[in-house]
């Protein structure tokens, strides 16, 4: 909500992607007819307005069943101090002009908005719990995780090893410049013996109204650049990354790596090398596993897949990496042969069909190439 009229505007409304963490695996609130759960946030500081509406509700006295306590379930995840009536919320909205982003400005960028017919400016900040008001703001911000990240959980904000990166949109209201929350990322700094840290991305969320505009890539690249300047950082990883996050990371890392000398077309055609691992880690804080994916994507760009020899060479190179888990299985079988009775061994072998392995390998390879092509298409448009 930026303006009072947004309260009545369905265009500013978006629905949760998940609700199982609040309402159970069936995602059902029992006992209501025409149930509406209304959660409004002021665009900048995220002051909250919460109300429940329904046309009717089962009654324990007459229907012999009890309706779910929806209000209590929501109260468990939103911090206290929220508004319950419109007038209080609108009066808070008038004070929004005083809200300013928290922490240190890292990056400013613009994106052209077709609807508005102009460029809109966005800024990325790094904050921590010492910033006045940030703790309370973060409590409100993290409630979005429950609705948009499938396995979300709230973090221990008293642990000083957390870093917070925030994206804001600058907009004008009655001649004043205001800020709207776009998204954020939390990063935990793990200790690596003897004197390094390994930042690990824990949570990343771009709010639905801003998704698909490139903010995720801007945020991830800014975070990488922030850590790249630190001599104590070993490399940057992610905790249990989603499929979408992996695609985003592929794009950002390839964009960062493409100008390194070790990824020149000539060197790419010579195969994956230790030089690539070393340079990507030292200059860009990218680990070996991610560097290998970057190499495969850039080598695909340098390969003429219409040339039978080049295509075959690329396919074999990628499949040699993909076959690793299958080779591990073969080693496990060799161990089994030494300690299992013949009939037990036959049973194990029946579970592993070599033809099926080949089919799975080819399928995985084709899917990978398809994903890599999408990264390259996006890179060409960037």
Residues forming beta bridges with residue 120, ordered by sequence position: 111
Task: State residue 324's pLDDT score.
Answer: 76
Terminal alpha carbon distance of the chain = 31
Measured in degrees and rounded to the nearest 5, phi and psi for residue 115 equal -65, -45
Tell me the pLDDT band of 325, cut-offs 50, 70 and 90.
low
Question: 335-353: per-residue pLDDT in tens?
Answer: 666 676 666 655 555 555 5
The fraction of the chain above a pLDDT of 70, given in percent, is 91
Task: State residue 354's pLDDT score.
Answer: 64
Task: Tell me the torsion sign for CA atoms 152, 156, 161, 165.
Answer: positive
Looking only at the bridges linking them, the beta strands covering 176-192 and 196-206 are antiparallel
100, two tokens = 């300013």
Average the pLDDT over each of 139-143, 160-164, 327-331 and give the range with the smallest value. Answer: 327-331
> Is the pLDDT confidence value at 181 over 90?
yes
- Dihedral angle, C-alpha 298, 304, 307, 309, nearest 10 °: -20
ω into residue 194 within 30 of 0, thus cis?
A: yes
> Is the pLDDT confidence value at 28 over 90?
yes
Strand segments (E) across the chain = 32-33, 36-41, 48-53, 56-57, 104-113, 118-127, 162-173, 176-192, 196-206, 237-238
Burial 259-298 (b: 16+ CB within 10 A, else e): ebebbeeebbeeebeeebbebbbeebbbeeebbbbbbbbb
Active site annotation includes 363:
no
Question: 205-216: per-residue pLDDT in tens?
Answer: 999 999 999 999
Average pLDDT, the chain: 92
Task: State residue 344's pLDDT score.
Answer: 62
pTM above threshold 0.85: yes
Domain boundary assignment for the chain: 4-96, 99-300, 321-381
User: What CATH architecture does domain 99-300 belong to?
Assistant: 3-Layer(aba) Sandwich (3.40)
Task: Provide the residue count of the chain.
Answer: 382
**Of 27, 160, 239, 363, which one is the catalytic site residue?**
239
Average pLDDT over every residue of 307-328? 88
Question: 218-235: per-residue pLDDT in tens?
Answer: 999 999 999 999 999 999
> Is the pLDDT confidence value at 327 over 80?
no
Count CA within 13 A, CB hemisphere, residue 147.
Answer: 16
| Three-state DSSP state, 248 | helix
| Three-state DSSP state, 76 | coil
Q: Please say whether the beta carbons of 84 and 129 come within 8 A.
A: no
Tell me the pLDDT band of 271, cut-offs 50, 70 and 90.
very high
Question: 54-106: per-residue pLDDT in tens?
Answer: 999 998 666 778 899 999 999 999 999 999 999 999 999 999 999 999 999 99
Instruction: Residues 4-96: name the CATH superfamily.
Output: Histone acetyl transferase 1 (HAT1), N-terminal domain (3.90.360.10)
Consecutive H or E run containing 347: helix 342-350
269, two tokens = 């055609």
Task: State residue 109's pLDDT score.
Answer: 98
The fraction of the chain above a pLDDT of 90, given in percent, is 83
Average the pLDDT over each of 92-96, 116-120, 282-286 and give the range with the smallest value. Answer: 116-120
Burial class (CB in 10 A: 0-12, 13-18, 19+), 343: exposed
């Amino acid at each position: 909500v930026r303006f009072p009229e947004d309260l009545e505007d369905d265009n500013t409304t978006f629905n949760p992607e998940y609700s199982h963490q609040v309402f159970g695996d069936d995602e059902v609130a029992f006992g209501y007819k025409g149930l509406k759960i209304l959660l409004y946030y002021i665009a900048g500081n995220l002051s909250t307005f919460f109300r429940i509406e329904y046309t009717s509700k089962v009654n324990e006295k007459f229907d012999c069943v009890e309706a779910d306590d929806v209000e209590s379930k929501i109260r468990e995840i939103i911090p206290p101090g929220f508004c319950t009536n419109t007038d209080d919320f609108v009066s808070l909205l008038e004070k929004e002009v005083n809200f300013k982003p928290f922490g240190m400005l890292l990056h400013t960028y613009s994106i052209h908005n077709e609807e508005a017919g102009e460029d809109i400016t966005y800024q990325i900040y790094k904050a921590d719990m010492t910033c006045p008001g940030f703790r309370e703001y973060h409590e409100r911000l993290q409630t979005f995780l429950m609705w948009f990240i499938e396995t979300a959980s709230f973090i221990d904000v008293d642990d000083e090893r957390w870093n917070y990166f925030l994206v804001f949109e600058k907009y004008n209201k009655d001649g004043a410049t205001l800020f709207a929350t776009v998204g954020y990322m939390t990063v935990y700094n793990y200790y690596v013996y003897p004197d390094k840290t390994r930042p690990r991305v824990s949570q990343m969320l771009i709010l639905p109204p801003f998704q698909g505009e490139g903010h995720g890539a801007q945020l991830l690249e800014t975070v990488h650049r922030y850590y790249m300047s630190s001599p104590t950082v070993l490399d940057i990883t992610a905790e249990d990354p989603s499929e979408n996050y992996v695609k985003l990371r592929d794009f950002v890392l390839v964009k960062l790596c493409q100008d390194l000398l070790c990824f020149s077309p000539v060197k790419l055609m010579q195969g994956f090398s230790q030089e690539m691992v070393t340079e990507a880690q030292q200059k860009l804080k990218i680990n070996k596993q991610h560097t290998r994916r970057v190499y495969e994507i850039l080598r695909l760009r340098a390969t003429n897949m219409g040339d039978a020899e080049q295509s075959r060479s690329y396919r074999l190179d990628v499949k040699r990496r993909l076959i690793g888990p299958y080779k591990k299985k073969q080693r496990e079988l060799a161990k089994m042969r030494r300690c299992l009775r013949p009939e037990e061994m036959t049973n194990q072998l029946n579970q592993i069909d070599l033809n099926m392995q080949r089919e799975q390998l080819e399928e995985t390879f084709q899917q990978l190439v398809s994903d890599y092509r999408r990264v390259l298409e996006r890179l060409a448009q960037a």
